[in-house]
Amino acid sequence: MLQTNEKRREALRLPFNPLTGEGAPGKRFRLELDDYELPVQYLPEAMKEDAAIQELMQLRNVKAYVVRRGMHLHKFIDRFRRLRFRHDFYYWAHCNVMIKPKGEGSDVPFCPNMPQRRLIETFEAMRREEKPIRVILLKARQWGGSTATQIYMAWLQLIHRRGMNSLIVGHQKDAAAEVCGMFEKLIDAYPDELLYDPGSKQRHKEKKMLANALTRNIRTIPQRGCKIKVGSAKMPDSARGGDATLVHCTEVAFWEKTEGKSPEQIVRSACSGTLPRPMTMIVYESTANGVGNFFQREYEAAKRGTSIFLPVFVAWWQIETYQLDFASDAERSAFAEWLSANRESEQADSAREEPPRYLWHLWEAGATLEAINWYRTQRRAYADHGDMAAEYPSDDVEAFVHSGARVFDYYKVQQLRKTCRPPRLRGEIAAHADEGPDALRDLRFADDSQGALEVWALPEADSDKRRVANRYLAVVDIGGRSAKADWSVVCVFDRLWMTSGGNPSVVAQWYGHTDMDRLAWKAAQIAAFYNNALLVVESNTLETRDRDRIVEGDQAPFILNQIRDAYPNLYARRQSEEEIRQGAPRKYGFHTNIATKPMVISTLVRCVREGLYTERDVRCTDELLTYERRQNGSYGAIAGHHDDLLMTRAIGLHICYHDMPQPQIVGSNRHRQATQLMLGEAFF
């Protein structure tokens, strides 16, 4: 553990020299010039394409090169520096940008820290691939993400292309003005000659930045033919993008609806003029501010890969300044021993401390012992874990702090993820008809890349000599018709392994939006395809007061009425002795209400904690991590998230373990056949 810790500390101390290029991100090559001010440089690969660089690599001497070319030395230096400025952001920034260091002291050359280099390299990868730069940045406090973004935008404007206008939009005017002030400071100290192309006539008395005569929020750099505009989300008219090529939206999570305009509308207005072309840039950047807001939804979409933006997150422990050294090696060793010995403990000494289990999670995530030591100290400044997580998030899940308490153990969910994998097949169940009794005839799986049915294991057909009773279970969670409604889910469990003390496994899942009549028959077809699985349709009513499970009214009775006469194996609730005596009709479907919901959630908590089922869909594990027990005692997904997959698991596993009889192999050679079946599925 101590050896691993030392390797992690060394990784944080890796050399980085923006002047020589040593340790800089990206592919680089070594250039040796024995008589140059920097005898050894590590230059971006793109510079190799320049003929002068190729010649210098052969000569390895500046004097020999300028003599051969009949060139003055100062012209060589100017051309070489300009070439490197164009290809090497880190070199340009260190030579030309001065920033105020954290704390006190005089301005210093900009030398990006490790998180800043990671962000800049994300920008650079898109630029080099000639893609539009689209990034959404979820920040921890005080590592300079906004600074790095603004300086990178300045590099594009001042070095790469004339006429690139930029727009900076903050949650309030002061925030945007602060970012703009950084740019003004950069321009004031910027060398005049670099604002002109080589050989161009310089106008020495021309100001480097001009204020707009009509509005105070626009600055112009006449030498580059570009504008810098500052806007505020609180003044939507100031945030209109117009012809902006580069847009930086800062602290987006704190934008509020104002003057009838939502954050979505303000962003749309700011970015509307930015075409999806190379050398254009849009960055949404913010610390987290809870869930359910525009920034959180956009970050989640980017994380899922359904957005044009690439998500970037930097955990606090990846920032080299958040380290607290131990007083001695002995103290470090003692802390490591304590942490390892207590890694399963969930008990904290006070509300201002984290349990050892959480600290062990930080270690497993990659934090150094010194970082964990810093966290323990800093945590005492906060009365609640959520407050600390908002400022110093350890991952991009806890960054979006919420008022409720997570229901499922983060670390157990990570264990559950290990069995998740892409489906083997995707398609739909085809049949003789789409609805009615004929919809259950001639069932077969039809491959379709656009289908909503994902299959991890096809059903094992029963034979005349052997069948497995009570093997398959299908659970239906009813969503809505529209794209914005909750998803409808049909989840199929295989209970075969339970015959020998094993666990049920998710083997198929339909996930989509459709009309209720179509969902009814799809569910029946899927259940019938899986050997007439027990089909459970979730039911709820307005009287239950469980409004989180109500979608477009209670559709369960409609679905049950559609299929109950055609499908023979529908789940019905247990009847009381009084109901049986009175001959009351059976009630089909699983009734989710304020009494049964905590019951099934408790079952799911136990199954996740003890590893009592096999999950296949990683999206379900995401839902587990964003499920909370609220302050009023109710359960539900945090704002902006869903629990459709989760509820099929909760209901299904409760029925697996508490309502259905054990699966039983009926027929000869039962032990041998069960072993063969299990081995056949174990390799998948």
| 474 and 595 belong to one structural domain | yes
Minimum mean pLDDT range among 39-43, 223-227, 406-410, 475-479: 406-410
Is there a domain that residue 114 lies in?
A: no
Distance from C-alpha of 554 to C-alpha of 540, rounded to nearest angstrom = 6
Give me the pLDDT at residue 374, please: 95
Is there a domain that residue 408 lies in?
A: no
Which residues have a Cβ under 8 Å from the Cβ of 145 and sit 6 or more positions away?
115, 116, 119, 137, 139, 285, 314
Give me the pLDDT at residue 681, please: 37
Which residues have a Cβ under 8 Å from the Cβ of 645 and sit 6 or more positions away?
477, 487, 489, 491, 509, 511, 617, 619, 620, 623
Of 284-293, 532-541, 643-652, highest mean pLDDT? 643-652
Distance from C-alpha of 275 to C-alpha of 154, rounded to nearest angstrom = 19
pTM: predicted TM-score of the whole model, two decimal places: 0.71
Q: From 38, 69, 87, give the residue that closes a domain.
A: 87
pLDDT category at 189 given cuts 50, 70, 90 is confident
H-state helical runs in 99-172: 114-128, 145-155
Contact 499, 663 (CB under 8 A): yes
| 262 and 333 belong to one structural domain | no
Give me the pLDDT at residue 558, please: 66
Could you give the percent of the chain with pLDDT greater than 70? 87
Contact 248, 168 (CB under 8 A): yes
pLDDT category at 675 given cuts 50, 70, 90 is very low
Is there a domain that residue 159 lies in?
A: yes
Distance from C-alpha of 252 to C-alpha of 233, rounded to nearest angstrom = 9
Strand partners, 511: 489
Is there a domain that residue 175 lies in?
A: yes
DSSP 279-327: T-EEEEEEE---SSSHHHHHHHHHHHT-SSSEEEE--GGGSTTS----S
Q: From 299, 314, 329, give the residue that closes a domain.
A: 314
Give me the pLDDT at residue 671, please: 42
Each residue's pLDDT tens digit, 574-590: 755 555 555 555 677 78
From residue 493, how far is each of 186, 497, 536 by CA, in Å? 61, 11, 11
> Could you say which DSSP state residue 568 is in?
S
Token pair recorded at residue 416: 């559950």
More confident residue, 313 or 595: 313
Is there a domain that residue 104 lies in?
A: no
Give me the pLDDT at residue 401, please: 62
| 375 and 435 belong to one structural domain | no
> Could you say which DSSP state residue 562 is in?
H
| 491 and 464 belong to one structural domain | yes
Give me the pLDDT at residue 213, please: 62
Distance from C-alpha of 298 to C-alpha of 308, rounded to nearest angstrom = 10
The CATH number covering residue 470 comes to 3.30.420
The CATH number covering residue 168 comes to 3.40.50.300
Contact 155, 101 (CB under 8 A): no
Domain range for residue 152? 123-183+209-314
Is pLDDT at 292 greater than 70 in this prediction?
no
Minimum mean pLDDT range among 46-60, 270-284, 506-520, 565-579: 565-579
Structural domain tally of the chain?
Answer: 4
| 439 and 469 belong to one structural domain | yes
Q: From 65, 87, 109, give the residue that closes a domain.
A: 87
From residue 26, how far is each of 40, 48, 91, 128, 410 by CA, in Å? 17, 14, 13, 10, 34
Token pair recorded at residue 66: 């300028």
Average pLDDT over residues 505-531: 92
Average pLDDT over residues 67-78: 91
Give me the pLDDT at residue 545, please: 39
Give me the pLDDT at residue 50, please: 94
Is pLDDT at 408 greater than 90 in this prediction?
no
Of 135-144, 468-477, 576-585, highest mean pLDDT? 468-477
| 176 and 253 belong to one structural domain | yes
Is there a domain that residue 637 lies in?
A: no
| Sign, CA torsion 576/578/579/581 | positive
Is pLDDT at 500 greater than 60 in this prediction?
yes
Each residue's pLDDT tens digit, 250-276: 888 888 876 667 888 888 888 888 889
> Could you say which DSSP state residue 257 is in?
-
Which residues have a Cβ under 8 Å from the Cβ of 343 and sit 6 or more positions away?
356, 357, 360
Give me the pLDDT at residue 22, please: 95
Look at the block and give the residue holding tokens 């900076």.
168
Each residue's pLDDT tens digit, 545-574: 345 544 455 555 667 777 888 898 999 877
Is there a domain that residue 586 lies in?
A: yes
Is pLDDT at 445 greater than 80 in this prediction?
yes
Residue 315 half-sphere exposure toward CB, CA atoms < 13 A: 17
Strand partners, 248: 168, 283
Is there a domain that residue 481 lies in?
A: yes
> Could you say which DSSP state residue 275 is in?
-
Average pLDDT, whole number, for the chain? Answer: 85
Q: Which of 510, 523, 461, 472 is nearest to 660 (CA)?
A: 472
Average pLDDT over residues 449-457: 94
Contact 40, 13 (CB under 8 A): no
| 507 and 586 belong to one structural domain | yes
More confident residue, 453 or 183: 453
Average pLDDT over residues 509-522: 89
DSSP 195-243: GS-TTPPP-TTS-S-EE-SS-TTEEEETTTTEEEEEEETTBGGGG--TT
| 291 and 179 belong to one structural domain | yes
Residue 74 half-sphere exposure toward CB, CA atoms < 13 A: 1
| 447 and 511 belong to one structural domain | yes
| 528 and 431 belong to one structural domain | yes
Is pLDDT at 517 greater than 90 in this prediction?
no
| 471 and 557 belong to one structural domain | yes
Could you give the percent of the chain with pLDDT greater than 90? 48
| 217 and 175 belong to one structural domain | yes
